[in-house]
Chains A and B, each alone.
Chain A
Amino acid sequence: MRRAAPLGWPERVDLWDRALAVVRAHFRGEGLREVSTPVRVAHVALEPYIEPIAAPPGLLATSPELAMKRLLCRGSGSIFQIAHVFRRAEIGARHSEEFHLIEWYRVEAALAEGRRDVEALVAAVIEVAGGEGPRRWESHGILDVVDETLGVRLRGDEEAGVLAELAAARGLPLVAVGLDDHDLEVRRLAAWTAFLSEWSDRHLDPWLLARAERGIHLGDFPPALAALAELVEVGDGPRVAARFESFVGGVELANGYQELRDAGDQRRRFVAVAGLRRALGLPPLALDQAFLGDLEGRGLPRAAGVALGLDRLLMLAVGASSLADISLALGAPGHPADGA
């Protein structure tokens, strides 16, 4: 990535104009249709550490995922969206409470097609910005990288206690949340989330920076972190989540799922997140019963779905180190200030 002087306002406007156009051109060329779903919603997908911003009588969308899946359940076919999304108290050089998520779903597609979209979008946006993209892309299993960096082979179905011991042995600080009286699913979700968060900070970030000239997809997540992705068999080990994350220049850009279609499994995962949120003292969030009803009643077509942060991609494309350097936000709340 080249280093660039801070962009002036006309250059920023030009950058966004080119990027938005090239993103739309990519998906239109691939036969996806553009949608625009509400920014204010009744419910958000439950995640342990993604906090919505209240907008009475609803919430600002943290992602367009549930709204787009409900369209898929109604026969939309493959769709994409460039959505404004909001996540409370996430402000930093690479975080903004409001940002642009490019989200797309390919019906009847495998996850590999989602990865190819990521690669094509990254290349196209960086090209129109005049930057230099990754020379090549590699895919790794996330537990293979854990093995490479920590020297321990995890299966992905380890219990909370095993992870706590491993973390202690490797000097990874895990926040102790008093979860002993919570059920197994909640404890496993808490432990895997905390373990991989700390590992990511201490080990994955340097590992990625050593490969900054390449694009990296990490896949095969532990089932506890499947979120809204399907579990699949890989070889004769335990099942893994059909989910990937993509990184460029050490920066996390995208997250993709082979979408979970089983309403019962989806409900159980949301309930586990709700349990963890309760244990952490986070404000309760209601389950989106209408979304779960659509999964159950109408059925979600087999689909691969991906979300990619457009602001971060533009930051990388021009060689900037903060979202503030490419943002068009003039004094809007929740955006990183210059120098953040």
Chain B
Amino acid sequence: MDVSDLRKNAKLQIDGHPYVVVDFQFVKPGKGQGLYKCKIKNMITGSVLDRTWRSGEKLEAANVESRKMQYLFSTGEAFAFMDNQTYEQVELAADLIGDDARFLLDNLECDVLFFNDRPVGVSLPSHIVVEVIEAEPGVKADNATGMTKGATVSTGYNLQVPLFIKVGERIKIDTRTGDYIERVNN
């Protein structure tokens, strides 16, 4: 692709990594060369960097696609996902999942990112609903104070929850911050 094809959300391949353009500014002095000032995000690691390209430079478009897949199971070293339409299964190494592993509920529907037809990452729904399997006993009188206590949910993740949350209840968690959002009734 040519630099003049750069746009917000364009996907590029640099040094073997897929990047998405998250911010884009075009400047051009009069009869001079155009500068395409971009902020690009590594689609695997999420790291963001500044890059400037100049008129006439060539870029490599990244062959990336995102597919809806269901989480099946983990072997510890890898995590298996299945495409519900084709029943195709893929495995992602644990280091590509990283901290997201703590939110992988059985059968959770995720977006699996493919780069050159290879699965390279997962993006989770922005929140999940999980069951509390362990919680310190609460003190009823402290409900209004905003105090919290430790709890563990069915995926094994530990977090702080309000004192009124009890074992067996279901709660909603923000997967971007890992924070408790609310109690979910029934």
A residues adjacent to B (C-beta < 8 A): 47-51, 88-95, 173, 175, 177, 193-194, 196-198, 200-201, 204, 225, 227, 245, 252, 255, 280-282
CA distance A88 to B34 in the complex (A): 12
| Residues of chain B with a CB closer than 8 A to A95's CB | 26, 28
Contact B29 A204 (CB under 8 A): yes
Contact A245 B32 (CB under 8 A): no
| Residues of chain B with a CB closer than 8 A to A92's CB | 25-27
Chain B: how many interface residues by the 8 Å CB criterion?
A: 18
- Which of B51-59, B75-83, B89-97 has 4 or more CB atoms under 8 Å from chain A? B51-59
| Residues of chain B with a CB closer than 8 A to A281's CB | 56
B5 (CB) vs chain A CBs: closest residue: A89
CA distance A97 to B19 in the complex (A): 26
Q: What sequence of 0s and 1s flags, for each residue 27-70 of chain B, a beta carbon within 8 Å of any chain A beta carbon?
A: 11111111100000000000000001011110000000000000
Q: How far is the CB of B6 from chain A (nearest CB, A)?
A: 9
| Residues of chain A with a CB closer than 8 A to B158's CB | none
Would you list 10 pairs from A and B whose C-beta atoms are within 8 A, ordered by A residue? A49-B28, A49-B31, A89-B34, A193-B31, A200-B29, A201-B29, A201-B35, A245-B30, A252-B30, A255-B31
Contact B27 A49 (CB under 8 A): no
A174 (CB) vs chain B CBs: closest residue: B54
Q: How far is the CB of A172 from chain B (nearest CB, A)?
A: 12
| Residues of chain A with a CB closer than 8 A to B25's CB | 92-93
Q: How far is the CB of B167 from chain A (nearest CB, A)?
A: 48
B57 (CB) vs chain A CBs: closest residue: A175
Q: How far is the CB of B170 from chain A (nearest CB, A)?
A: 40
- Which has the most chain B C-beta neighbours within 10 Å: A95, A173, A201? A201
Known: A94-B27, A197-B35, A281-B56. 8 other contacts (CB 8 A): A48-B31, A49-B28, A49-B33, A51-B4, A89-B34, A194-B54, A196-B29, A201-B35
Q: Which 4 pairs between the two chains have the least Cβ-Cβ distance?
A: A92-B26, A197-B32, A89-B4, A200-B29
Partner of A175, one of B30, B31, B54: B54
Q: How far is the CB of A171 from chain B (nearest CB, A)?
A: 13
Partner of B26, one of A51, A90, A197, A198: A90
CA distance A49 to B55 in the complex (A): 7
Partner of B28, one of A90, A177, A245: A90
